[in-house]
């Protein structure tokens, strides 16, 4: 019997990813990191509980998530998959399709130049997408586009360019959704590492999830790009 494939991805390339990567490596867990190169600087933008003079990043419950530097990308994410999250986190419905797709491709090309390997994954900023942008993503050679919608069975997605996950990593029903996903053989979760703030209890809670998955003899870690062909009704 084939093992259930467990995949995960994390958005925005924030400072908290440094701690996250250490934890993932502890459990030999695969993951994809969705990055916006245009929002990254040559030096780190630090975290903070109040807006910083330079940048300050996204505010989450009063916590400003900093950014890793561009020069850290290759070393920090060594061994993990990277994917485009647009150049400056542009929403798919915020500009003409022809202009928007350039931001998605530019981010991919930037990442591919750094790591010298294909980065064909994509995550929709704010989960927003249209049929036109899905078509443009496919034509540009992307393997999938992750949304923010939840489904019980990822393999029932009709289009890998609108690839839904099972849940956010902090979903109250995480374990229940994990067990339910056994029926289709794929479990997919996502999130932002800054949502755990610098609060040890939240990190410990997430580590318990990694351990639960890692200790399951009937599951195995996989990359999102690996499950894309299984989750695309247009190519079946």
Instruction: Give residue 67's region: left, alpha or beta (phi > 0; psi -120 to 50).
Output: beta
* DSSP state letters, 91-107: -TTSS-HHHHHHHHHHH
The pTM of this model reads 0.95
> Could you say which DSSP state residue 172 is in?
T
Tens of pLDDT, residue by residue over 80-112, are: 999 999 999 999 999 999 999 999 999 999 999
- Can you read off the two tokens belonging to residue 145? 């586009």
Report residue 181's pLDDT band, with 50, 70 and 90 as the boundaries: very high
Location of structure tokens 């934890």:
23
At 102 the pLDDT is 98
Say whether pLDDT at 28 is over 50. yes
Q: What is the mean pLDDT of residues 173-197?
A: 98
Delineate the domains of the chain, giving CATH numbers in brackets. Answer: 4-235 (3.20.20.370)
Q: How much is the mean pLDDT over the chain? A: 94
């Amino acid at each position: 019997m084939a093992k259930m494939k467990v995949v995960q991805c994390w958005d925005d390339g924030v400072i908290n990813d440094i701690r996250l990567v250490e934890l993932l490596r502890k459990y030999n867990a695969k993951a994809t990191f969705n990055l916006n190169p245009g929002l990254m600087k040559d030096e780190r933008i630090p975290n903070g509980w109040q807006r910083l003079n330079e940048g300050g990043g996204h505010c989450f419950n009063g916590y400003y998530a900093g950014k890793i530097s561009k020069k850290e990308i290759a070393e920090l994410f060594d061994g993990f998959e990277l994917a485009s999250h647009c150049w400056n986190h542009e929403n798919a419905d915020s500009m003409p399709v022809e202009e928007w797709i350039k931001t998605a491709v530019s981010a991919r090309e930037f990442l591919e130049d750094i790591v010298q390997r294909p980065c064909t994954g994509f995550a929709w900023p704010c989960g927003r997408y249209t049929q036109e942008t899905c078509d443009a993503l496919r034509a540009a050679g992307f393997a999938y586009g992750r949304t923010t919608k939840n489904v019980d069975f990822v393999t029932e997605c009709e289009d890998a360019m609108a690839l839904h996950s099972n849940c956010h990593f902090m979903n109250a029903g995480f374990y229940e959704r994990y067990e339910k996903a056994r029926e289709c053989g794929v479990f997919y979760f996502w999130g932002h590492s800054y949502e755990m703030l610098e609060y040890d209890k939240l990190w410990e809670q997430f580590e318990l999830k990694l351990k639960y998955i890692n200790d399951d003899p009937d599951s195995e870690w996989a990359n999102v790009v690996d499950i894309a062909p299984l989750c695309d009704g247009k190519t079946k």
